[in-house]
Chain A
Amino acid sequence: MTRRLFDFHGGVNLTQYKKFSTSKPVMPARLPKKLILPLQQNIGEPAEPLVSIGDKVHKGQIIAKPSGSVSVPVHATSSGTVIDIGLHSVAQASGIKAPCIIIETDGLDQERRKGRRFIDYKDLSPVELRKKLLYAGIVGMGGAGFPSFIKLDPKEKEVATLILNGAECEPYITCDDMLMREQAVEIIEGLIIMRYMLNAKQCIVGIENKKKTALASIKQAVANAGVDYIEVVEVPTVYPAGGEKQLIQVLTGKEVPSQGLPLDIGIVCQNVGTAYAVCRAIEHGEPLISRYVTVAGSVAKTRNLEVRIGTPISDIIEECGGNRRTLSRVIIGGPMMGFAIHDDQAPVIKTTNCILVNSVVSDVPLPSRDKLAMPCIRCGACAQACPVDLLPQQLYWYARSKEFDKIQDYNLFDCIECGCCDYVCPSHIPLVHYYRYAKSEIWMQEREKQLSDLSRQRHEFRLARLERDKQERAARHKKKRAKVEKDTGTDDKKAAIEAAMARVRDKQKHSQGAPKNINNLTAEQQREIDEVEARRAKRNELSKKIKTPNSDDSKTQ
């Protein structure tokens, strides 16, 4: 059965340079003296260390646990002693150091588990399998390293097609090619497990038509597996046919919605390396502690090595006969999308597929871009090469003039940074660099806007809170006052007060009119008092008669 293939727009034909690294079988790399294990090797949150300096660790031991929902543990990739937990150079374009656990290996490469038991995936439910993948530290090995336990969760969506990406379209890189040649059976086994987890209807393995040996071994493995839902398809060798979106378009004719996921159109795409790692993790209980890495460029022995995660890149360059003193540039990944690292002491991580070495003696990916960029003549070669049908010349125009609103009208964020436009530009303009610049500027502006929105919200909230407090305080006072007034207004109290007042008045009256020592008087005493009273009254009467005219005079004056 031949599947109808679809075409994607643009793309470029590149010289492959793949023969040298595929001529020798893959060898395990030497065990390094030091292993540098970054706590973050994938998108999402970094892991949290579980060991401290001086701890002995064995191969495959979890030395850092996942934190957060998009995180996987870090395993010791050989036995030894933890000598440091701190910042170290990592393979990142930014050159920023990142927290790492550094292990001094003891050369014994000891594992704790002795006997190995083969596990049949069918005995486990997809949920259990996902948990196993999480604790085996499996991430997507083709690019961004997205944790596989998340990507292999269909989340109640129907998965029509599971695509296995064996296209590997960048020049020089052959690690997937070699993996397919040498581990085809386990790749297909991994594919079957992933299909089971996703409950996918069909599986397509997309492999570039120039990889004849890999195609043959994968086809053989599929035939031996005896399942009817796997189809192996040869895709044209055009860069970037191995890009997830492009491979989906070539194989199914469908397009992943802008800002969406393949799962939105019922497709999941996995790399062959991931399928292999899934198989090893599920059937043999092995965590992801090594991977195939292509070493190419200015080295004496161009080849693929099976490298322990955490091996310093400098060790690998030396093992392949590269001269560290004449290094000019070390590219992680391919020449089209790879990034140049600042320090070759950085370690290999789960997503490191290729180490492309350049020396001052011979720059390997030749010819590189001219130093002097000429003005854009709007020839449109870039637009013809763009695999997502953007207008790179317009994006460049607006990036250069910093019109970040306009540039989004031209769908800047659909750019996959494949570098095709840059590659074909006759003016040698670093186009991708301009787009990265524009993207980061827009992100920064948005972050700033969010921050300023947040602080404005905070400020407005504070004002509102102050106002509310004030009103509440006012209301409280009012209520209290009202309560007091209300309390004083009740009849009981008023009456009580009145009564008390009356009593006081009464008392005063009585005390004035009748001094206390005149109670219980004898008859004789009473008589004396009466006499005194009579005399006092007489005198008062007399004094009134005398005083009255004077007082009248005084009034008239």
Chain B
Amino acid sequence: MFLSTPTSPHIHAHTSITMVMMRVLLALIPAIIAYIWFFGWGLAINIVIAIAVGLSCEAGMLKLRQRPLKPFLTDGSVIVTAILLAFCLPSLAPWWLASIGMFFAVVVAKHLYGGLGYNPFNPAMVGYVVLLISFPREMTSWLPPNLLNDLNVGFVNTLIAIFTGVLPYELTIDAITSATPLDTIKTNLGLSITVGESINSSALFGDFGGIGWEWIGNWIFLGGVWLIYKKIISWHIPISMLASLFIISLLFYLGDPDHNSSPMFHMFSGATMLGAFFIATDPVSASTTPKGKIIFGAGIGALIYIIRVWGGYPDGVAFAVLLMNMAAPTIDYYTQPRVYGHSKD
């Protein structure tokens, strides 16, 4: 009698890493559409470049590390990294920017640390920070919203611009880029222009944050809420991160509204929403205990504010996330939940 004797449990929920990653992708789709709506086809092209380079790097590293290709190439994690990185690039960023970013994200940040599940830092943010430090000019060539639509720059022209740097109608990228709302306020504050004056004098600003940016933020928010509902992510990190950023900015705003942006502006500007729901929640590099997640999120919120207001960069989500990634193992150790039957002290 030869019966197979696997150990219990003998049943398993219908779930997999691929399913988790696909849900994350699904949640990003509304924001991707909104982004393309406001800033043109650049994001779509960057996503395709990033996915292609990312998967190639992944395949190469798996081969080098003698790991099976299929399960890891189909787990969807590279695609999520690629989309998150592409989200952080300016629309007309040259093709090699996304490529270098993905190379660092996949090869250095992920596989040199042991591949899926072993990276201490968020791969997309490592890729982004490498680019931001190495190529500051390309990385800050942001376009004002709706510009490409107004200029009638379509998909083909965007494609040409990304791969050759040439824009139609004798436009140059330098000529059409402008500062982001966060940039504008930071620069103007340096010039003793109050936040209110900045917002009133520039066409960049919408109801809360920048025009366009705030809508992308809305869709990201909705996607994130759906992920929480689907239990792909827990509420702890996004809520604590947004709450800490909101409370800190509110305190400063109430103290001096002329020199400090409103809490809502902080919420809907830059990468706040993307960071809260899609970047800080990367399970591999984040805290894993419920209490730890709250500390982790709150820390990111505080660091974002510090970097935005007193740091050298207009936005600080990437740096804040990476800094807190470093603290995550320690936070986890000290925030273990009380186990059943242990005293409640």
Contacts and interface: CB of A to CB of B under 8 A. Distances in A.
A14 B234 CA distance: 21
Interface in A304-345: 327-331, 333, 335-345
A378 B117 contact: yes
B165 interface: no
A171 interface: yes
B341 A375 contact: no
Contacts of A368: 6, 10-12
Given A12-B13, A375-B115, A427-B17, A414 B340 contact: yes
Q: Which one of A249, A377, A384, A419 has the highest number of Cβ atoms from chain B below 10 Å of its Cβ?
A: A377
B340 A391 contact: no
Contacts of B140: none
A68 interface: no
Contacts of A258: 339-342
A260 interface: yes
Contacts of A108: none
A255 interface: yes
Contact of B11 (A260, A366, A425): A366
Interface residues of A, number: 73
B283 A328 contact: no
A384 B183 CA distance: 41
A412 to B, nearest CB: 10
B133 to A, nearest CB: 28
The size class of the interface chain B forms with chain A is 35 or more
Interface stretch (B91-99, B151-159, B216-224, B330-338): B330-338
Contacts of B332: 391, 394
B8 interface: yes
A85 interface: no
A374 B116 contact: yes
A434 to B, nearest CB: 10
A345 B3 CA distance: 11
At the interface, is chain A mostly helix, strand, loop or mixed?
Answer: loop
A26 interface: no
Interface string A351-387: 0000010000000011111101011111111011001
Interface string B1-39: 101111111111111110110000000000000000000
Contacts of B283: 377-380
B3 A330 contact: yes
Given A255-B340, A380-B283, A391-B288, A432 B4 contact: no
Nearest to B281: A379
Interface in A469-497: none
A411 B16 contact: no
A92 to B, nearest CB: 11
A255 B7 CA distance: 28
A315 B259 CA distance: 84
Interface string B227-245: 0000100100000000000
Interface of B: 1, 3-17, 19-20, 68, 71, 75, 77, 115-118, 231, 234, 283-284, 286, 288-290, 332, 336-343
10 contacts: A256-B340, A330-B3, A338-B8, A338-B10, A340-B10, A366-B11, A368-B10, A369-B12, A432-B7, A433-B7
Given A367-B12, A368-B10, 8 more contacts: A9-B340, A258-B339, A342-B3, A368-B11, A375-B118, A414-B339, A424-B13, A426-B20
